[in-house]
Amino acid sequence: MNENQKQYQQIIKKLQEKDYRLTDIRKAVIEILVVKKHISINDIIIELKKTHNIVNIMSIYNTIDLLMDEHIIHANVFDNKQIFYELSDNIIHVVCNICHKIIHVDNKVIIDANFLVEDKLSSFLLRDKNFLFSHYKLEVHGICSDCRKNTQKTRQKAEKEEQWKNLK
């Protein structure tokens, strides 16, 4: 069983333990959310229409609400525009200021890199702020490698054009 299948089974089990009805559409939405890292409602609808003849939009919204209420997923708004959904996990989003590309840094990478130690964060929050930690999400902004390359090429081109003008 791969990681996506494990996550899917864990979510289904959690919902069954709370006696939620698991319709085909609800299961399909969960499958999509497990596979996709950042997905909008419109993208979920498009994915569902590929495999289901009838897609009830309200069922999708109700499923999203349920999964958010149960802290299985959370919403992110990038560039103050589109809402994207993803599984609730400790994550870092790295967002390019120029092209708005989103790079997803998952929990395993965070743990392996040891740059955010959950136990220390949890202990600090409980001890100093009397706050019980459940998960975090962090958004880091900067410029991706592609945009840095493009910016450098643009700068070099402008410098060459300026040199050419000075030669005339």
Q: What is the pLDDT of residues 101-141, one digit of tens each?
A: 888 777 677 777 776 777 788 888 889 889 887 777 778 88
**Residue found by looking up tokens 């497990």 in the block:** 34
| Dihedral in degrees, nearest 10, Cα atoms 13, 15, 19, 25 | -110
List strand residue ranges (DSSP E) for the chain, in order. 73-78, 82-87, 91-96, 102-105, 137-142
Whole-number Å distance between alpha carbons of 142 and 148: 10
Model pTM above 0.85: no
Q: What is the pLDDT of residues 18-55, one digit of tens each?
A: 999 999 999 999 999 999 878 999 999 999 999 988 88
Please report how many Cα atoms fall inside a 13 Å half-sphere around the Cα of residue 64, on the Cβ side: 21
Please report how many Cα atoms fall inside a 13 Å half-sphere around the Cα of residue 27, on the Cβ side: 11
Question: Considering the chain, what is the average pLDDT of its residues?
Answer: 85
Residues 51-77, mean pLDDT to the nearest whole number = 92
